[in-house]
C-alpha cells in the first residue's frame, strides 16, 4: 500500500485528496502546514507527497526542496498542487524536485491518474 502525505492549508482540499486516494487503497496522512508535514516526516516515510504552493509559513516549493534533501524524503515522488499555472512556478517546482503539477480546482480522476503514474 502506497503512503501519501498531503499538505495544504485548505481543509477542503485535504478532505478531497484523502477521500479520493483512500478509496483507491492509498494510505493518506494530511498536514495543514509545512511544519506539520515535517513533524510527520520525522516519524514516518511516505511514497508520494502532494504539496500546495501557497501556504502560510513555508511554501510547498521550499518544502519540496527540504524534503528532497532529507534522508527520510529523498525517495518521495512529489506533486505540486496550486491555483497558479505559470511556467516560472512549474520550473521552480521541478528544480526543487517535484515530478508532477496539478492545478486547482482539479477533478478526482485527474488526481488519481497523476498519482497512479508515480
pTM value is 0.95
Q: List, in order, residues 6 or more apart from 58 with CB less than 8 Å away.
A: 33, 34, 35, 66
pLDDT in tens, 81-105: 988 878 898 999 999 999 999 999 9
Q: How far apart are CA 34 and CA 111, in angstroms?
A: 21
pLDDT in tens, 17-65: 999 999 999 999 999 999 999 999 999 999 999 999 999 899 999 999 9
Record the cell numbers describing residue 10, joined without a space: 485548505
CATH of 3-117, one of 3.40.30.10, 3.40.50.2300, 3.40.50.20, 2.70.98.10: 3.40.50.2300
Locate cell 488526481: which residue?
111
- What one-character DSSP code corresponds to residue 118? -
112, 21 Cβ separation under 8 angstroms = yes
If one counts every other C-beta atom within 10 angstroms of the C-beta of residue 19, the result is 11
Amino acid at each position: 500500500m502506497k503512503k501519501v502525505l498531503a499538505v495544504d492549508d485548505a481543509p477542503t482540499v485535504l478532505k478531497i485528496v484523502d477521500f479520493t486516494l483512500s478509496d483507491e487503497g492509498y494510505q493518506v496522512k494530511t498536514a495543514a502546514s509545512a511544519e506539520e508535514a515535517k513533524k510527520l516526516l520525522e516519524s514516518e516515510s511516505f511514497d508520494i507527497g502532494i504539496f500546495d504552493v501557497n501556504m502560510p509559513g513555508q511554501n510547498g516549493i521550499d518544502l519540496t526542496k527540504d524534503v528532497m534533501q532529507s534522508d527520510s524524503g529523498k525517495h518521495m515522488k512529489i506533486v505540486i498542487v496550486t491555483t497558479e499555472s505559470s511556467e516560472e512556478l512549474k520550473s521552480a517546482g521541478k528544480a526543487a524536485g517535484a515530478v508532477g503539477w496539478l492545478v486547482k480546482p482539479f477533478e478526482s480522476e485527474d488526481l488519481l491518474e497523476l498519482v497512479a503514474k508515480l
